[in-house]
Chain A
Amino acid sequence: MGVLRDIYNRIEETASPVASGLAQSEELGEAFAVVAGIHRAVRGRVDQLAGVMWRSVNLPTATDVQRMRNQLGELDREVRLLTLQLQRNRPRAGDEVTGDGEPAGQEHD
Chain B
Amino acid sequence: MVSLPGRSTIERITREVERNTLRARNGIRMATGIQHTQVGLSPKDVVWRGGRTQLWHYRSDRVTMRPPLLIVYSLFNKSYILDLRPGNSVVEHLIAAGFDVYLIDWGIPDERDAQNTIEDYTDFYLPAVIDQVCAISGSDSINLFGYCFGGLLAVLHAAHHPTSPLRSLTALTTPADLSALGPMGDALGRSDIDAAIGSDGLVPPSVIMQGFRSLDPMAEVTSRVDLVERLWNDEFVTAYQAMTGWGSDQVPLPGALARQLQQMVVDNALVNDRITIGGDRVRLRDIRLPFAHVLGLRDHIIPLDSAAPLVGLVGSAEKREYRFDAGHVGLMVGRTAAKNTVPAIIDVVKQQSEAT
Residues in chain A within 8 A of chain B (CB atoms)? 1, 5, 8, 12, 15-16, 19-20, 22-24, 29, 33, 36-37, 40, 63, 66, 69-70, 72-74, 76-77, 80-81, 83-85, 87-88, 91-99, 104, 106-109
Contacts and interface: CB of A to CB of B under 8 A. Distances in A.
Interface in B192-221: 192, 195, 199-201, 213-218, 221
A23 B217 contact: yes
B13 interface: no
Q: On chain B, which size bracket covers the interface? A: 35 or more
A20 B216 contact: yes
A12 B222 contact: yes
Given A85-B124, A96-B48, A106-B46, A77 B113 contact: yes
Contacts, number: 126
B112 A5 contact: no
A91 B131 contact: yes
A33 B111 CA distance: 24
B136 interface: yes
3 closest Cβ pairs, A-B complex? A99-B51, A24-B183, A19-B217
B47 A76 contact: no
A16 B218 contact: yes
A91 B139 CA distance: 13
A88 B214 contact: no
B218 A19 contact: yes
Given A5-B225, A80-B51, A66 B199 contact: yes
Contacts of B213: 23
Contacts of A12: 218, 221-222
